[in-house]
Amino acid sequence: MRLSGRGTSMVLTFDDGPDPRYTPSILRTLREYDVRAVFFVCGEMAVEHKDLLREMADGGHVVGNHTWTHPLLTRLPRSRIRSEMERTCEVIADAYGEAPLWFRAPYGAWNRAVFQLGAELGMEPFAWTVDSFDWATPGTPTIVRRVEGNAAPGVIVLSHDAGGDRSQSVEALREYLPYLRDSGYHFTVPRRRST
């Protein structure tokens, strides 16, 4: 993966959506600050909210594959892993306009089969370097401190736009995004490496 920018680039990522309760607010905030992000969507959510995937495409955001049902892949047979990935690829291609280039394993649980099947489907693995821990709903100030305190060139921030009450995630983004921009950070989305 290559990041554009001159040593001040970061990547914002959001997992588990799209969720009509929280994703639109996140998209509005990103649009307000002219920032692009990566959304790792679950197929069972995406199939019900294809309009949000189209909005992501229109906004210049990248949509990645986060499986159909968000299972622990390392406990599944290869056939089920493939099905989880393939079904989600199809929904993304249909709604977003192109097949996903990136895959993130739920819970960050990877094994050889997950890597191999992702590659067979044309996707590269995509992890994170800073977990906002928003999934634990620790409070907006805690999420903001974690993101701002770990900001650095090349950081990939993990946040969530679904999978529970994500109002703290929405509010935290509204607080840390202008702070980080004012601190000189640029937000970018990944491009596939040239081969």
Catalytic (active-site) positions: 15, 160
Q: Where are the alpha helices (DSSP H) in the chain?
A: 23-32, 43-46, 50-58, 78-96, 112-120, 140-149, 167-182
With beta carbons less than 8 A apart as the criterion, state whether 77 and 43 touch.
no
Provide the greatest CA pair distance for the chain: 47
The answer, yes or no, to whether the previous bond of 18 is cis (omega within 30 of 0) is yes
Tokens 């309009």 correspond to what residue?
A: 51
Extract the tokens encoding 87. 């079904």
